[in-house]
């Protein structure tokens, strides 16, 4: 992959956000990357980035209300946004679906190829108990970005299971990549292929279980419960990845 990337130039802003706030966030993310290797995704990094970017401190406080952790999340989502744009323009029709997923994962890593230390510092931050939930949401967001970009139209429990499975693959691939020194991340590419193969084998096993009359009968009750689960709408609760449809 040779797609060019301009550091900090893409970020998915919340609908209706003030353009000055959006510009502030973009500028601060770009300025922060030179400080993160030394000070991590910290309030100190944020303060220096605000000064370097020459943005209004008041707007910066609005853009990153929780300080360094919000700065790290903004960086992560900016790269997810770039991934979505790149996948939208990529010609993937000739690839098997498993290969499209592998391509998306590897391209997401390619986008931060020159920002490995920033990613490493982010992984360390989100490993802390106080920020573990933020890290889980960030991983989920990447998985959702990939599935959405690849045209997933599921609206039932599969919406969750697909993203949960891909979240596991993505997080494992990211950690593996952080320690990979092979040329062109070839070892990571092979690792991703093996993880996706494992997922495909599990899906095949689920298919055989569904086709077994006895197993289908045993699973009828649990399946009825899962059938009530629906993917989130346009405005899902902020602390949940989806919603529950009540049967009246």
Mind listing the pLDDT tens digit for each residue in 89-102? 999 999 999 999 99
Q: Which of 3-17, 80-94, 144-158, 216-230 has the highest average model confidence (pLDDT)?
A: 80-94
Q: 55 in a domain, yes or no?
A: yes
Q: How far apart are the first and last CA of the chain?
A: 50
Q: What is the mean pLDDT of residues 84-90?
A: 97
Q: Quick one: which of 122, 101, 136 has its CA closest to 241?
A: 136
Q: In the prediction, which pLDDT does 19 show?
A: 86
C-alpha 139/C-alpha 201 separation (Å) is: 23
Q: How many CA atoms lie within 13 A of 114 on its CB side?
A: 10
The contacts of residue 69 (CB under 8 Å, 6+ apart) are 41, 125, 131, 134
Q: Is 10 part of a structural domain of the chain? A: no
Q: Which residue has the tokens 């956000």?
A: 17
Within-domain flag for 196: yes
What angle is formed at CA 243 by the lines to CA 242 and CA 246, rounded to 5 degrees?
A: 160
Query: Cβ neighbours of residue 217 under 8 Å, at least 6 residues apart?
Result: none
Does some domain include residue 88?
yes
pLDDT digits (tens, 9 = 90+) for 202-239: 555 455 545 556 545 544 545 455 455 566 765 444 44
- Answer yes or no: is 129 within a domain: yes
Mark out the alpha helices in 33-156 (DSSP H runs). 36-39, 43-53, 57-63, 68-89, 97-110, 116-126, 132-149
Q: For residues 48 and 220, what is the distance between their CA atoms, to the nearest angstrom?
A: 58
pLDDT-wise least confident of 15-19, 47-51, 169-173: 15-19
Residue 20: pLDDT band by 50, 70, 90 thresholds? confident
Predicted pLDDT of residue 157:
79
User: What is the number of domains present in the chain?
Assistant: 1
Domain range enclosing 121:
19-244
Answer left, alpha or beta for residue 232, where phi above 0 means left and psi between -120 and 50 means alpha.
Answer: beta
- Over the stretch 125-141, which tens digit does the pLDDT of each residue have? 999 999 999 999 999 99
Report if residue 12 sits inside a domain.
no
pLDDT band at 155 (very low <50, low <70, confident <90, very high): confident
pLDDT of residue 218: 47
- In this prediction, residue 11 carries a pLDDT of 42
So what's the pLDDT on residue 28? 98
Q: Look at residue 84 and tell me whether its pLDDT is greater than 90.
A: yes
Q: What is the pLDDT of residue 69?
A: 98
74 pLDDT band, cuts 50/70/90, is very high
126 occurs within a structural domain: yes
pLDDT digits (tens, 9 = 90+) for 161-173: 999 999 999 999 9
Chain centroid, CA 221 distance in Å:
33
Higher pLDDT, 14 or 30: 30
CATH number of the domain bearing residue 165 = 1.10.357.10
pLDDT value of residue 201: 75
Residue with tokens 């970017």: 53
CA distance 106 to 214: 40
Asked, for residue 186, whether it belongs to a domain, the answer is yes
Contact (Cβ atoms closer than 8 angstroms) between residue 116 and residue 137: no
Give me the pLDDT at residue 208, please: 56
Per-residue model confidence (pLDDT) at position 206: 52
């Amino acid at each position: 992959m040779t797609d060019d990337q301009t550091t900090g130039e893409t970020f998915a802003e919340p609908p209706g956000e003030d353009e000055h706030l959006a510009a502030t966030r973009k500028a601060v993310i770009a300025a922060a990357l030179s400080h993160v290797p030394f000070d991590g995704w910290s309030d100190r990094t944020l303060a220096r980035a605000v000064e370097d970017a020459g943005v209004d401190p008041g707007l910066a406080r609005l853009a990153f209300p929780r300080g360094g952790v919000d700065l790290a999340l903004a960086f992560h989502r900016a790269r997810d946004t770039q991934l979505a744009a790149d996948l939208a323009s990529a010609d993937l029709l000739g690839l098997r679906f498993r290969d499209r997923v592998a391509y998306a994962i590897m391209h997401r890593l390619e986008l931060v190829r020159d920002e490995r230390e920033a990613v490493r510092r982010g992984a360390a931050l989100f490993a802390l108990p106080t920020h573990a939930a933020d890290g889980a949401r960030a991983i989920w967001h990447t998985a959702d970005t990939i599935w959405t970009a690849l045209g997933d139209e599921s609206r039932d429990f599969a919406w969750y299971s697909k993203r949960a499975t891909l979240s596991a693959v993505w997080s494992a691939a990211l950690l593996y990549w952080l320690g990979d020194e092979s040329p062109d991340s070839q070892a990571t590419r092979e690792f991703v292929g093996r993880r996706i193969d494992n997922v495909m084998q599990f899906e095949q096993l689920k298919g055989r279980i569904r086709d077994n009359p006895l197993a289908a009968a045993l699973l009828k009750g649990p399946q009825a419960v899962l059938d009530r689960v629906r993917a989130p709408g346009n405005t899902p609760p902020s602390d949940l990845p989806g919603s529950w449809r009540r049967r009246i």
